[in-house]
């Protein structure tokens, strides 16, 4: 049958080889395995069995892309021959916008970059300013920063847990993750007043101290997550269908990942053993005991496994930080007007999705002269074509889901 007929509105199909001369067929998935065998390949090259390629435009509006992300996939039956991510639909020009605002306004602006981990976005800016202005941050503020950043990491990871399971068609774990998120969200809301855009980290410390009862609430919420993780394992990682869908699917080689600057759970899934929290400790991360989870194969399952186990490690850090929370002020000595002295600084932190870097150049004014932001999702998404090659359409969704990217973080 003619694959052309169904091509319709989305775009013209591409033809390959003898094109109209040979009979047109749409490949059955079973046959695709056959196609790899040499006998079949030679038949194709002789022009007797010619298959049509079809250009499938996934996105900018597609449920699996969680945002305006476009993927140009050339498919042969259900097999993806080539895939090309197209980004930029959500470019909001933050790097330019921040040049027009003073430092305190920037804090609230950049938390909208990666909207799932707002407080983690605010952190590198605060660190960069403190380094430039040589402000000493009191230990209580540092401990609270770590605790909140890690709670935000748990929020982020649970969100990706739910979206990944929903994309694989398992709806129930989705809502389980939301139930746990809500407890942590509530604890964070009691501190910051916000649910997504917290605006809580200030150069020199924090906006205000935590309310009474926060520590108990946060600890209870985090412990509940740990307590319920076995349920997740039962529902997803232990499930035979889930394993079949993810193991050896979308393998991202370590070398490829390195060359694209892939970091975070995706990089660690490809066994790039790198975590800024451990390698170049900022704040007081060096005082806590936690492990960096690493995958071995770089497939969807490993990426997901890393994500899930980082939740446990983050919970460990939160517990330690809140248990050892020192008393004292939460704000260092900061001048009334925040003016960074002339100079430049590069700060990198471990965002939930990977390495977040802020290159801040100051000309001595109230506003930054230039801020270059290195966001993890952008580098991670760049490596997508390598993982997507020669997979099936159904795998494409699993791979997109396992690449854990936030569109706001890709485009800024």
Partner 1 sequence: MIEITLTDWQILLVKLLIILIVVPVGALVGGYVLHKEMAHMQHRLGPMYAGGWHGWAQTLADGIKFAYKEDIIPASADKRVFSLAPAVIFVPVLLLYLVIPIDQNLIVEDLDVGLFFLLAIGSVGSIGVLMAGWSSANKYALIGALRSAGQLIAYELPIVLSAAAIAMLAGTLSLVGIVEAQDWPYIVWPPGIGLALFLLFLAGAMAEMALPPFDMPVAESELITGPFTEYTGMRFIFGFFFAETAHMIAFAAIGTTLFLGGYKPIVPWEPLEVIPGVLWFFVKTSFMVFLLLWVRFSFPRLREDQLQKFAWKALIPLSLVLILATGAWILYGP
CB 348 within 8 A of CB 377: no
Stretch that binds partner 1, among 131-139, 278-286, 349-357, 389-397 (CB under 8 A): 389-397
Stretch that binds partner 1, among 86-94, 240-248, 333-341, 366-374 (CB under 8 A): 240-248
User: What is the nearest approach in angstroms of partner 1 to the Cβ of residue 63?
Assistant: 5
DSSP-derived secondary structure for 92-157: --HHHHGGGS-HHHHHHHHTTTSTTSHHHHHHHHHHHHHHHHTPPPPHHHHHHHHHHHHHHHHHHH
Taking CB under 8 A as the criterion, which residues in 299-328 touch partner 1?
none
Distance (Å, rounded) from C-alpha 298 to C-alpha 271?
Answer: 7
**For the CA atoms of 264, 266, 271, 275, what is the dihedral angle to 10 degrees?**
0
By the rule CB under 8 A, 167 interacts with partner 1: yes
Q: Which position among 49, 51, 53, 54 is part of the footprint of partner 1 (CB under 8 A)?
A: 54
At CA 71, angle to CA 65 and CA 76, rounded to 5?
Answer: 120
Binding track over 8-47 against partner 1, x by CB under 8 A = xxx---------------x-xxx-xx--------------
Nearer of residues 103 and 404 to partner 1, judged by Cβ: 404
By the rule CB under 8 A, 72 interacts with partner 1: no
Nearer of residues 200 and 304 to partner 1, judged by Cβ: 304
Q: Which position among 64, 81, 97, 196 is part of the footprint of partner 1 (CB under 8 A)?
A: 64
By the rule CB under 8 A, 112 interacts with partner 1: no
By the rule CB under 8 A, 183 interacts with partner 1: no
CB 25: neighbour CB atoms within 10 A? 15
* Count of residues that bind partner 1 according to CB under 8 A: 44
Stretch that binds partner 1, among 59-67, 192-200, 215-223, 363-371 (CB under 8 A): 59-67
Cα diameter, the chain: 81
CB-based contacts of 20-25 (< 8 A; 24+ apart in sequence): 21/47, 21/50, 22/47, 22/48, 22/49, 22/50, 23/49, 23/50, 24/50, 24/51, 24/52, 25/1, 25/49, 25/51
Q: Which position among 97, 219, 312, 393 is part of the footprint of partner 1 (CB under 8 A)?
A: 393
User: What is the nearest approach in angstroms of partner 1 to the Cβ of residue 274?
Assistant: 30
By the rule CB under 8 A, 388 interacts with partner 1: no
DSSP 8-class letter at 80:
E
By the rule CB under 8 A, 238 interacts with partner 1: no
* Closest by CA position to 377, among listed 128, 18, 87: 87
Stretch that binds partner 1, among 165-173, 258-266, 308-316, 369-377 (CB under 8 A): 165-173
Question: Which chain residues interact with partner 1 by CB under 8 A?
Answer: 3, 5-10, 26, 28-30, 32-33, 54, 56, 62-64, 78, 165-172, 174-176, 179, 235-236, 239, 241-242, 244-245, 392-397
């Amino acid at each position: 049958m003619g694959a052309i007929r169904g091509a319709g509105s989305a775009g013209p199909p591409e033809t390959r080889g003898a094109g109209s001369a040979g009979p047109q067929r749409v490949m059955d998935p079973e046959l695709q395995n056959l196609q790899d065998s040499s006998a079949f390949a030679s038949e194709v090259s002789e022009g007797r069995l010619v298959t049509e390629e079809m250009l499938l435009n996934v996105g900018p509006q597609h449920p699996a892309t969680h945002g305006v992300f476009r993927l140009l996939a050339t498919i042969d039956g259900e097999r993806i021959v080539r895939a090309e991510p197209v980004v930029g639909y959500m470019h909001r020009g933050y790097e330019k916008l921040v040049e027009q605002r003073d430092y305190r306004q920037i804090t609230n602006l950049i938390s909208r970059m990666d909207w799932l981990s707002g407080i983690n976005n605010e952190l590198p800016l605060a660190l960069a300013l403190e380094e430039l202005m040589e402000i000493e941050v009191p230990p209580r503020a540092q401990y609270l920063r770590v605790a909140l950043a890690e709670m935000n990491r748990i929020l982020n990871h649970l969100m990706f847990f739910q979206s990944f399971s929903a994309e694989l068609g398992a709806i129930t774990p989705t809502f389980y993750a939301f139930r746990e998120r809500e407890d942590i969200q509530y604890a964070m809301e009691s501190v910051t007043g916000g649910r997504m855009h917290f605006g809580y980290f200030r150069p020199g410390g924090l906006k205000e101290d935590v309310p009474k009862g926060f520590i108990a609430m946060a600890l209870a919420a985090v412990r509940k997550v740990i307590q319920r993780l076995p349920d997740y394992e039962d529902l997803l990682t232990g499930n035979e269908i889930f394993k079949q869908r993810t193991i050896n699917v979308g393998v991202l080689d370590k070398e490829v990942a390195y060359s694209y600057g892939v970091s975070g759970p995706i990089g660690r899934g490809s066994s790039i053993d790198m975590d800024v929290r451990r390698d170049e400790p900022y704040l007081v991360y060096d005082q806590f005991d936690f492990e960096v989870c690493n995958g071995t194969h770089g497939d969807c399952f490993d990426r997901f496994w890393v994500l899930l186990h980082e939740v446990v490690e983050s919970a460990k850090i939160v517990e330690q930080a809140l248990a050892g929370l020192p008393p004292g002020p939460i704000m260092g000595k900061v001048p009334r007007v925040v003016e960074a002295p002339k100079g430049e600084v590069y700060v990198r932190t471990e965002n939930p999705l990977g390495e977040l870097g802020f290159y801040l150049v100051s000309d001595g004014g109230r506003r930054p002269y230039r801020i270059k932001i290195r966001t993890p999702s952008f580098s991670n998404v760049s490596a997508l074509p390598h993982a997507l090659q020669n997979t099936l359409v159904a795998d494409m969704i699993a791979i997109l889901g396992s690449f854990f990217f936030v569109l706001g973080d890709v485009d800024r």
